[in-house]
Amino acid sequence: MTSTHSLPTPTNPGPFGHKQRKNFFFPEGKTEFNHGSYGTFTRSVQENMLRWHNRVEENPDRWVRLDLKPALDNVRSQLAGFMNCDKDELALVQNTTEGVSTILRSLEFVPGDRILRISTGYVAVNKAVDYICDFRKDVEIVEVPMVMPMTDHEIVYQVEKTVQDHIAMKDGSSIKLAMIDWISSVPAIVHPIKALIDMLKSYGILVFVDGAHAIGQVPVDLTFLKADFFITNCHKWLYSVRGSAVLYVPKRYQKLIHPTAIQGDYKSSFELEFSWKGTMDYSTILSIEGALEFRQQYGEDAIIHYSHHLALQGGQIMAQILGTNVMTPHDHQVGNMVNVRLPIKDINHPKIETPDYLIRHLLDKYNLFAPSYKHGGYFWTRVSSQIYLELQDFVHLGNVWKEVIADLNAEL
């Protein structure tokens, strides 16, 4: 591990900051503040993807019949090293949405089973839980209400209290599975994941971690975490091309789990079932190799340290410009995404209620975007930090939001 003294910081970015722009695709004048939604990749990663893409066309039979599986295997080995697990516990999928449905639709839920989820869970994930409950008799949701900010202790307490309240009802039902976020989307909060997993498992509940934002943003050690299931997008913070994610299924559950689209290898082995998803382009998934190569040049510690500290300092600068605050005073609950309060006088302002108004306004007038949302009675923006950003970008975004909100307030 590198000493933290020598790591790049927002005031001493070293190889990071605007120097990195050349490695990415942003044209002059475009600054990206929403890496968290879809990620982006470097030029070297795209080259890596194109190499795979071209190789297929040169000899499709050789590729599909002989070379594809070893190539996927190699990526799984690299990811296993990166996340400290066995490569045979990993399946490559296209995104978290697919990974979540893979597990939820494979598990057997019987009458009386309950699925615990958190109110701040990602909408598609929560809908996937809705779907399971809609199509199973007497399978219901137990939802944990969560309003941030909360300390780690309060988060664990709130989830545990919901479990205990459920048990106290003594209605014959029991919580079979809990879906929990490692880093939630909005608000963006790094949850005390290990404490949550341990607590939930102590009640005999299976734990499925939605780690869509985890890999590349926080160190991931799956052997330490001991989650029952885990999914993470590589196309968000790891820098692989969109459509690349990895699902973790420990061997003890593998016989139960099948891909969402069943193919000819059904019931052969976990590895074979997930090594072919029907005819498609596998180059996005394989670009994970290029992403890991790019990261190695700079070092994981350096990338994570810089982006995290830029999020912390950038968030404070924006809050100062706006005369507001960041959502959580707990720095370790911030990864690379920071939530900054927007000083709108009326959170039900008609333009905020108008679908797409702020998206168009920010993109058309300012050529930038950061998502905004209501939470806990306030209006917030979520800003993503990255190695290609600097503090001055946060100053710019703070001033843009100040102007946008002042215009909205003037209309009231």
Ligand X SMILES: Cc1ncc(COP(=O)(O)O)c(C=O)c1O
**From 67-75, 91-99, 354-362, 367-375, span contacting ligand X (CB under 6 A):** 91-99
| Per-residue tokens: 371 | 């998502």
Binding-site size for ligand X (CB under 6 A) equals 14
String marking each residue 24-53 x if it binds ligand X according to CB under 6 A: -------------x----------------
Identify which of residues 121 and 314 has a Cβ nearer to ligand X in the complex: 121
Contacts 24+ apart (CB under 8 A), 132-137: 132/104, 132/105, 136/109, 136/110, 136/111, 137/111
- Please report how close the Cβ of residue 289 comes to ligand X at its closest, in angstroms: 19
Partners of 381 in the β-ladder: 340, 372
**From 48-56, 117-125, 165-173, 290-298, span contacting ligand X (CB under 6 A):** 117-125
Element spanning 394, H or E: helix 391-410
331: CB partners within 8 A, 6+ apart: 312
- Please report how close the Cβ of residue 38 comes to ligand X at its closest, in angstroms: 8
90, 247 in Cβ contact below 8 A?
Answer: yes
185-244: which residues touch ligand X (CB under 6 A)?
Answer: 185, 210, 212-213, 233
- Please report how close the Cβ of residue 217 comes to ligand X at its closest, in angstroms: 11
| Binding flag, residue 105, ligand X (CB under 6 A) | no
- At residue 299, φ and ψ (nearest 5 deg) are 95, 135
Identify which of residues 92 and 322 has a Cβ nearer to ligand X in the complex: 92
Identify which of residues 91 and 125 has a Cβ nearer to ligand X in the complex: 125
Identify which of residues 211 and 398 has a Cβ nearer to ligand X in the complex: 211
With b for 16 or more beta-carbon neighbours within 10 A and e for fewer, the 22-52 pattern comes to ebbeeeeeebbbbbbeebbbbebbbebbeeb
180, 193 in Cβ contact below 8 A?
Answer: yes
121-160: which residues touch ligand X (CB under 6 A)?
Answer: 122, 124-125
Identify which of residues 190 and 302 has a Cβ nearer to ligand X in the complex: 190
- Count of beta carbons in the 10 Å neighbourhood of residue 318: 27
**From 13-21, 150-158, 181-189, 289-297, span contacting ligand X (CB under 6 A):** 181-189
Nearest to 292 by CA among 95, 74, 98: 74
Identify which of residues 75 and 317 has a Cβ nearer to ligand X in the complex: 75
- Please report how close the Cβ of residue 59 comes to ligand X at its closest, in angstroms: 31
**From 66-74, 154-162, 165-173, 180-188, span contacting ligand X (CB under 6 A):** 180-188
Nearest to 193 by CA among 174, 175, 208: 208
| Binding flag, residue 95, ligand X (CB under 6 A) | yes
Identify which of residues 235 and 295 has a Cβ nearer to ligand X in the complex: 235
> Inter-axis angle of helices 300-322 and 391-410, to 10 degrees?
30
Element spanning 159, H or E: helix 152-169
Identify which of residues 383 and 405 has a Cβ nearer to ligand X in the complex: 383
Pair type for strands 206-210 and 174-181: parallel
Peptide bond into 219 cis (omega under 30): no
Q: Which of 89, 113, 181, 393 binds ligand X (CB under 6 A)?
A: 181
- Please report how close the Cβ of residue 212 comes to ligand X at its closest, in angstroms: 3
Q: Left if phi > 0, otherwise alpha if psi is -120 to 50, otherwise beta: which for 25?
A: alpha
- Please report how close the Cβ of residue 8 comes to ligand X at its closest, in angstroms: 26
| Binding flag, residue 287, ligand X (CB under 6 A) | no
Give contact residues for ligand X (rule: CB under 6 A). Answer: 37, 95-97, 122, 124-125, 181, 184-185, 210, 212-213, 233
